Amino acid sequence: MKGLIIIGSAKMGSHTNALAHYLKGHFEDQYFEVEIFDLAEHPIHQLDVSGVSSPSEVYKNNLTLLQTKARNADFFILGTPNYHGSYSGILKNALDHLTMDDFKMKPVGLIGNSDGIVSSEPLSHLRLIVRSLLGIAVPTQIATHDTDYNRLDDGTYYLDNEEFQLRSRLFVDQIISFVKNSPYEHLK
């Protein structure tokens, strides 16, 4: 069973990326393979159904990689910073390049980070998108704040809040439970 975490921050080394790495560790403790696709590290071009733009080879290759990983994933985590009270356009653009065939009846966890007032609104908005893609957004979600993180000597963020560390375990356990029991397998 393989998971894919898609990160929609515009920033390299984002807080959301740090949370994704923390969660990846918990999945791996339970022998679940998880890959992180960070859209800041692997940018893709804007969706263009008219085909008038000429995206670079790098963008096209990144998109092919994302689409392949998404198709092969058994579950997803969508990670977003809070941008203007919602999820990022970068993440929405990536989701617009994917389809129901990628998400149909697969468990989806939602995580996000804000810098102003802590808000779970971006995740509520994402829940609607997951439903449209026919994914199953699990009930537990994680909405952190910049102050829940600290930095290593090299500047890398790490999750430094006990409450969220505990919540992360619950979150991972919940997704694994959905994946293992596949309650909606027969509806695919």
Ligand X SMILES: Cc1cc2nc3c(=O)[nH]c(=O)nc-3n(C[C@H](O)[C@H](O)[C@H](O)COP(=O)(O)O)c2cc1C
Q: How far is the CB of 8 from ligand X (least distance, A)?
A: 8
Please report whether residue 41 would count as binding ligand X according to CB under 6 A: no
Please report whether residue 141 would count as binding ligand X according to CB under 6 A: no
Residue type, 153: D
Site string for ligand X, 146-185 (x = CB under 6 A): x---------------------------------------
Which of these, 182, 162, 174, 185, lies nearest to 30 by C-alpha position?
174
Q: How far is the CB of 40 from ligand X (least distance, A)?
A: 8
| CB of 69 closer than 8 Å to CB of 35 | yes
Maximal CA-CA distance, the chain: 49
How many angstroms separate the CA atoms of 22 and 10, rounded? 19
Which of these, 79, 2, 75, 73, lies nearest to 38 by C-alpha position?
79
Q: How far is the CB of 171 from ligand X (least distance, A)?
A: 17
How many angstroms separate the CA atoms of 104 and 93, rounded? 19
Among 14, 62, 141, 168, binds ligand X (CB under 6 A): 14
Closer CB to ligand X, 62 or 114, in the complex: 114
Closer CB to ligand X, 9 or 62, in the complex: 9
User: Nearest residue by C-beta to ligand X?
Assistant: 116
| Residues 6 or more apart whose Cβ sits within 8 Å of residue 119 | 82, 85, 143
Among residue numbers 57 through 116, which ones bind ligand X (CB under 6 A)? 81-85, 113-116
- Residues near ligand X (CB under 6 A) are 9, 11, 14-16, 81-85, 113-117, 146
